[in-house]
């Protein structure tokens, strides 16, 4: 969740200063903050077994709620005239959900590495020095994938597939919107 909540703040601030940061706050709250509250509350109420939603059968309803929140955030940003790059940032979240969401119903692809890899691609788009951003980000994504395997939440294939899906969804969305 910390990546989903941080990325819009960084993208907004880097591309549009304080006004962009404000747009990022809106996106971060709806796309990361509210889902975190839903997950936390769901774990406390017994709807989910753990914070990572380790049981695939528990994921569809949560994914549907998150998709609805991201669509709502995207609609608000467009209607309120947010900068195009902020709209693209949230559209990337929706694109990643559209790719990874259906896969997770049959196979436990890693949302963690999908979001991390997509974020690296987005940051390489908006920050100076894309090769450095991609290299450093690749190390971070590999570390996240390794951690997911070590805690036995995913296989190496699931983390790799997640990273590739997130990066691809992001690249295609950026090419289409910016």
Are 27 and 88 in contact by the 8 Å Cβ rule? The answer is no
Q: What is the mean pLDDT of residues 153-164?
A: 97
Instruction: Check pLDDT > 80 for residue 53.
Output: no
User: pLDDT tens across 3-22, in order?
Assistant: 999 999 999 999 999 999 99
Distances (CA, A) of 36 to 51, 100, 114, 123: 9, 18, 17, 23
Q: How many residues does the chain have?
A: 178
Residues whose CB falls within 8 Å of the CB of residue 108, separated by 6 or more in sequence, listed in order: 56, 154, 158
Residue 137, token pair as written in the block: 């980000």
Are 89 and 16 in contact by the 8 Å Cβ rule? The answer is no
- Residue 174 pLDDT: 97
78: number of Cβ within 10 Å = 14
18: number of Cβ within 10 Å = 8
Closest by CA to 115, choosing from 70, 55, 84, is 70
Distance CA 105, CA 71 (A): 20
Q: Give all strands (DSSP E) within the chain, no chain letters.
A: none
- Residue 2 pLDDT: 85
- Residue 46 pLDDT: 87
167: number of Cβ within 10 Å = 25
User: pLDDT tens across 70-121, in order?
Assistant: 999 999 999 999 999 999 999 999 999 999 989 988 899 999 999 999 999 9
pTM, 2 dp = 0.91
The DSSP string of 124-153 is: HHHSS-HHHHHHHHHHHHHHHHHHHHHTTS
């Amino acid at each position: 969740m910390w990546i989903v909540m941080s990325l819009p703040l960084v993208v907004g601030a880097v591309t549009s200063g304080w006004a962009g940061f404000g747009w990022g706050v809106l996106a971060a709250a709806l796309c990361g903050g509210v889902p975190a509250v839903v997950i936390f509350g769901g774990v406390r109420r017994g709807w989910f077994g753990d914070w990572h939603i380790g049981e695939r059968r528990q994921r569809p309803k949560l994914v549907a709620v998150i998709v609805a929140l991201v669509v709502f955030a995207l609609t608000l940003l467009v209607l309120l005239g947010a900068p195009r790059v902020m709209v693209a940032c949230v559209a990337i979240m929706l694109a990643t959900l559209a790719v990874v969401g259906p896969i997770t119903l049959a196979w436990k692809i890693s949302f963690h590495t999908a979001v991390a890899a997509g974020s690296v691609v987005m940051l390489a788009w908006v920050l100076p020095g894309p090769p450095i951003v991609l290299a450093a980000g690749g190390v971070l994504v590999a570390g996240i994938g390794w951690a997911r395997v070590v805690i036995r939440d995913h296989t190496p294939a699931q983390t790799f597939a997640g990273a590739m899906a997130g990066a691809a969804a992001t690249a295609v969305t950026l090419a289409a919107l910016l």
